[in-house]
Amino acid sequence: MITRALCRSFLKGALLVAATLSLTLILVAPGHAETQEQRNERMAWWRDARFGMFIHWGVYALPARHEWVRNRERITNEDYQKYFEHFNPDLYNPRDWARMAKEAGMKYVVLTAKHHEGFCLFDSQFTDYKSTNTPCHKDLVKEYVEAFRAEGLKVGFYYSLIDWHHPDYVIDRIHPLRPVDKKDFTAENFAKLNEGRDMAKYRQYMKNQVRELLSNYGKISIIWFDYSFPGEFGKGRDDWDSAGLLKLARELQPHILVDNRLDLPGEGDFATPEQLSAAELQKKSSGNQTGWETYRDWETCQTFSGSWGYFRDEKTWKSNAQLLTLLITSVSGGGNLLLNVGPTGRGEFDYRAKDRLHGLAEWMHYNSRSIYGCTEAPAEFAAPADTLFTCNPKTKCLYLHLLTYPADGKLMLAGVADKVAYTQFLHDASEILVEQGTDAGAKDLTLKFPADKPPVEIPVVEIFLK
Ligand code: GLC
C-alpha cells in the first residue's frame, strides 16, 4: 500500500516537473528545443557585445553602384560576367579589417559569404561561381575567418537565400530577368521564363553550401539568412525549405545564433530592424520590419551610407555623431548595432569608412563601459531631453549620454537623488558635482557641468547607484 502511494506521489511529482519543463521549452528549430536558461546562455555573449561589424563584399564592388545593381539595371549573367573576370582584390588583408573592427569596439563580425548576386567568397564544391576562380584565386572566407578570430572577434556568415546567378533559381518579382513591365507580371509569363528551372535543385544547393560553411571553417557564431519576400511572384519558407535550413544550422553548430528572415513564424534568435532611424528605434516603431519590437533580442543593421556594397558615388554618409547616436540608442533600448562596411574591389575599406571607424574607435576607447554589458535603464530613471540612458545591471552603473551639451551647464534627474552614490564623466573620471533638491522636489538631483563641452563627440556621465 505504502509503496503504491509513494509511487503514485513520485509519479505525480515527475509529471509536474515534466509539465513545468515543457512549459519553459522553446523550439528553436524542428527537433531542437531548449529551456529559457539554455537560451540565455546561448545569447549571453551577444547581449554583452552590443556592437558588431557587417561586411558586404562581392563582385558588385566593381560596378560600385549598389549591391542590388543586377536587379536595378536588369543585368544578365552574361553581362555581369566581366566583373567576375576582373575581380582581383590585391590589397585584401583581412587582418587590417579585423584590427579596425576591434579598435572601433566591435565584438563580432558577419561577412556575406554569398549575396543576392550569387557570387561565393568561399571555395564551394558546388559551384564555379566563386572567388577561387577569379584572378584573386583565394578562398576569401577562409582568410577572413582566421583574421577576425585572431583579433578575438566572434565570426559569423551572411548567406543569401536569393540567388540571381544560379540556373535553377526561379525568376521572381525582384529577379534581374523579371518582365520589364509590371503589367506583364502574370503567371503565364513567369512560367515561360522559368522553363527548365528547378527550385528543388536550388534548395539542395543551399543546403550543400550551408553545410560547407558551417563545417569547414570552425566555430561559427552567427548565421544570417537573407531574405524572404512571400506573396505573389515572391519567395518564402517553402521555397527555401526554411525549416530544413534552420535545422541543419542548429545541428552543425548548436550554439549558433540565427536571424529572423527565413519567414518562419516566431522564428530566429533575434529580430533585424534594418536602417531604422534613431527616433524610430527609440519609439520601437515597426519600420520596415513588422513585429521586431516584440522580440526580446534585436539587432539593427545600418550602413555608413545608403548602400551595403561599395558605392563610389554615394554621398549620404552618416556623421560620427549620427553613428554613435545609433549605437547608444540601440543599447538604451536593449538591442545591438551591426554596422556595415562595403570594401572596395581592391579589397580595402574606403577612406570614408576608415574615417568613421576611426571616430568610433576614439569614442569607444573612453566610453565602451556604457555599451558592453549594458541595456535599458530602470523605468524610474527618465532620460532628460536630448540624452539617452544605458545601464549595466551587473556593475550597477547608469550611463547618461549627452547628445546635446547642456547650454546652461545643468541637467536635472527627477526623483532619484537617494539612489545615486557618485557621478563622474566617463572619459576622464572627473567628478560631476551634484546638487540635491529643486523647487519641484527634494529628491531631484541636478548635475552641474563645466562650461566647456569636453573634447568627446558625445560625453557620458557615469552614475554609480547605491
Ligand atoms: C536587404 C538587402 C541587402 C542587404 C540586407 C542587409 O535585405 O537585400 O542588400 O544585404 O538587407 O540587412
**Predicted confidence (pLDDT) per residue in 85-124, tens digit:** 999 999 999 999 999 999 999 999 999 999 999 999 999 9
What does the pLDDT look like over 152-197, one tens digit per residue? 999 999 999 999 999 999 999 999 999 999 999 999 999 999 999 9
Nearest CA to ligand 1 atom 10: 308
Cis before 405 (ω within 30): no
Distance CA 52, CA 337 (A): 6
pLDDT of 23 = 56
Ligand 1 centre to CA of 67 (Å) is 9
**What domains can you pick out in the chain, each with its CATH number?**
24-370 (3.20.20.80), 387-465 (2.60.40.1180)
Distance CA 187, CA 209 (A): 30
C-alpha grid cell, residue 387: 540624452
Nearest CA to ligand 1 atom 4: 308
Ligand 1 centre to CA of 73 (Å) is 17
Say whether pLDDT at 11 is over 50: no
In the DSSP assignment, the letter for residue 453 is P
Q: 233 — phi, psi (to 5°)?
A: 55, 30
Name the pTM for this structure: 0.94
- Give the nearest ligand 1 atom to 54 CA: 6
Question: What residues are in contact with ligand 1 under a 6 Å CB criterion?
Answer: 56, 67-68, 226-227, 274, 301, 308
pLDDT of 439 = 62
Q: Which amino acid is at 424?
A: Q
What does the pLDDT look like over 138-155, one tens digit per residue? 999 999 999 999 999 999
**Ligand 1: which of 157, 227, 275, 298 to mutate, most ligand atoms within 8 Å of CB?**
227
Ligand 1 centre to CA of 338 (Å) is 12
Say whether pLDDT at 41 is over 50: yes
Distance CA 119, CA 164 (A): 9
Q: 96 — phi, psi (to 5°)?
A: -65, -45
Cα distance between the two ends of the chain: 58
* Short-list 417, 419, 415, 385, CA closest to 401: 385
Q: What share of the chain is helix, strand, coil (3-state, %, to 5)?
A: 35, 20, 45
Per DSSP, what are the bridge partners of residue 447?
411, 434
Q: What does DSSP say about strands 387-392 and 397-402: parallel, antiparallel, or unpaired? A: antiparallel
Count of other CB atoms within 10 angstroms of residue 371? 26
**Average pLDDT for the chain:** 94
Mean pLDDT calculated for residue range 441-447: 88
